[in-house]
Structure 1
Amino acid sequence: MRGGNRLLIIILAIGLSVWGAPCSGRGFSPRADTLFAQGVRSYKTGEFLAALGNFQKILQELPPNQRSSAAQLMVAKALYKLGEYEQAIQAAQRLLEAYPKSRYSPYAVYLIAGCRFRQWKYIDAVEEYAKVVGGRGDSKLRRRAQEIIDRIVETKLSPSQVEELRRKGLIGAREPEVGPVSPGVAIVGLLCPVSGPDSTFGKDLLDGVKLAFGDGESSSGLSLVVKDTESSAIGAVKAAQKLAEQENLLALVGPVFSLPTVAAAAVANCAKVPLLAPTANQDRLTTIGEYIFQLNTTPRIQAERMAEYAARDLGFKALAVLAPLNARGQQMAEGFVQRIE
Structure 2
Amino acid sequence: MSRRALQMLLVVLGLWACKGLAQPVSIPRIEAAETEFAQALQAFERGDYGLAYRQFRRVIDAYPPHRRTTAAWIMAAKTLYRLGEYDHVIAWTETFAVRYPTSRYQREARRLRQLAEAALHRRQQQARMITLGILLPMDPDNAPLTQALFDGIRLAVEARNADSLAAPVRMVFRDAGTTPDQVQEALQQLINEQQADLVIGPLYSEQARAAAEVAEQQGIVLVAPLATDEAVSAGRSFVFQANPTLAVRGQLMARMAVYGLRLDSIGIVAQADDLTAQRMAEAFQMEVLRLKAAVLFYKRLPSPQAWAQLTRYIGRDTLAQVQALYLPLSGSNAPMLARAALSSLDRAGLTPRVLGNAVWRDVQAALQASRYRVTFSNDFYVDTSRADVKVFMHRYHSLGRSETPDRLVYTGYDVTRFLLKQLPDRSALNKLADRIRSAPLYQGLSIRLHFDGGQVNRALYVHRYRDGRLELLR
> Do they fold alike, i.e. is TM over 0.5?
no
TM-score interval, smaller chain:
0.3 to 0.5
Q: TM-score, normalised by structure 2?
A: 0.31
**Higher RCO (CA-CA < 8 Å; seq separation 6+):** 1
Which structure would you say has the larger Rg?
Answer: 2
Q: TM-score, normalised by structure 1?
A: 0.42
